Amino acid sequence: MNYDLDLVPERTLKPREAGLTMVMDKGLSVREIEDLLTTSSDYMDIVKFGWATSFVTPNIQDKIKVYKDAGIPVYFGGTLFEAFTVRGQFEDYLRVLDKFGLEHAEVSDGSITLPHDEKCEYISRLAKHVKVLSEVGSKDAEKIFAPYKWIEMMQAELDAGAWKVIGEAREGGNIGLYRSSGEVRQGLVDEIIHAISPENIIWEAPQKGQQVYFVKLVGSNVNLGNIAPNELIPLETIRLGLRGDTFSTF
């Protein structure tokens, strides 16, 4: 840090299992990534190429390399898994992971209907090759699951071999864990947090109010995801109680 300030909460160090930040890259250039690394590499644990953006991104091998050289793993959003699976191309999907040398993959069913035991089978199969992030929650505002259902699914997916389970929010933060206004479904979160160890969950929390909520509830070292690149420095100050919103928290 640039100067000494007393009583700042301690952050875990990389490689982190708790307190990790998953960054949403939805189309950065190589130079933008290099720039980002100069300011925020200590605060980036893993990068997601959002949904199926990897399909249309021309400089993808270079992008992956720049992140990897900085020690930051990359994975492709769950929608890509769904796009392959719904087309009966799961074997092709495995080849894609291999071709790009990815060590993580996401399994989700936000846009498709997948019996839960099948989803868990995919998790098991993938877990033999890579670390699996499995996402719970629909991208459809009409599909609302009861808290006990979230917990059952999360637990089953961890049992099937998922490295972390992710609570769905989308890039906008207005679905799944949240109401369409972005407001946290607090009852849901409370239930989850009493059943599943926080270290095993990554909460998608793109909006500032959502990040503040989870830092206050779980602490500085909560796992957060779908963080926009230009919000990494701000998020770190929220974690450390150095922004107005969490100033009195620590």
Angle at 24 between CA 188 and CA 169, to 5 degrees: 20
Interacting residue with a copy of itself among 17, 148, 179, 233 (CB under 8 A): 233
Q: How many CB atoms lie within 10 A of CB 20?
A: 21
CA distances for 135 relative to 115, 138, 142, 153, angstroms? 14, 9, 17, 10
- For residues 87 and 129, which CB has a smaller minimum distance to a copy of itself in the complex? 87
Interacting residue with a copy of itself among 30, 129, 144, 146 (CB under 8 A): 30
Question: Does 53 help bind a copy of itself (rule: CB under 8 A)?
Answer: yes
Question: Does 181 help bind a copy of itself (rule: CB under 8 A)?
Answer: no
Q: What is the CA radius of gyration of the chain?
A: 17
CB of 16 to a copy of itself, least distance (A): 16
Cross-strand pairs, 166: 135, 202
Q: Please check whether residue 124 is in contact with residue 160, taking contact to mean a CB–CB distance below 8 angstroms.
A: yes
Helix %, strand %, coil % of the chain (to 5):
45, 15, 40
- For residues 30 and 144, which CB has a smaller minimum distance to a copy of itself in the complex? 30
Question: Does 10 help bind a copy of itself (rule: CB under 8 A)?
Answer: no
| Rounded CA separation 181/117 (Å) | 32
Alpha-helical segments (H) within the chain: 30-40, 60-69, 78-86, 90-99, 116-127, 147-159, 186-195, 208-218, 232-239
**Chain residues 161-180 in contact with a copy of itself, contact rule CB under 8 A:** 170, 172
Interacting residue with a copy of itself among 73, 111, 183, 195 (CB under 8 A): 111
**Chain residues 190-229 in contact with a copy of itself, contact rule CB under 8 A:** 208
Q: Please check whether residue 130 is in contact with residue 97, taking contact to mean a CB–CB distance below 8 angstroms.
A: yes
Question: Does 69 help bind a copy of itself (rule: CB under 8 A)?
Answer: no
Interacting residue with a copy of itself among 60, 70, 193, 196 (CB under 8 A): 60
Q: Please check whether residue 19 is in contact with residue 223, taking contact to mean a CB–CB distance below 8 angstroms.
A: yes
Question: Does 50 help bind a copy of itself (rule: CB under 8 A)?
Answer: yes
Interacting residue with a copy of itself among 67, 81, 84, 213 (CB under 8 A): 84
**Residues binding a copy of itself (CB under 8 A):** 1-8, 26-32, 34-36, 38-40, 42-43, 50-60, 79-80, 82-84, 87, 89, 92, 95-96, 99, 110-112, 139, 170, 172, 208, 230, 232-234, 236-237, 240, 242-245, 247-248
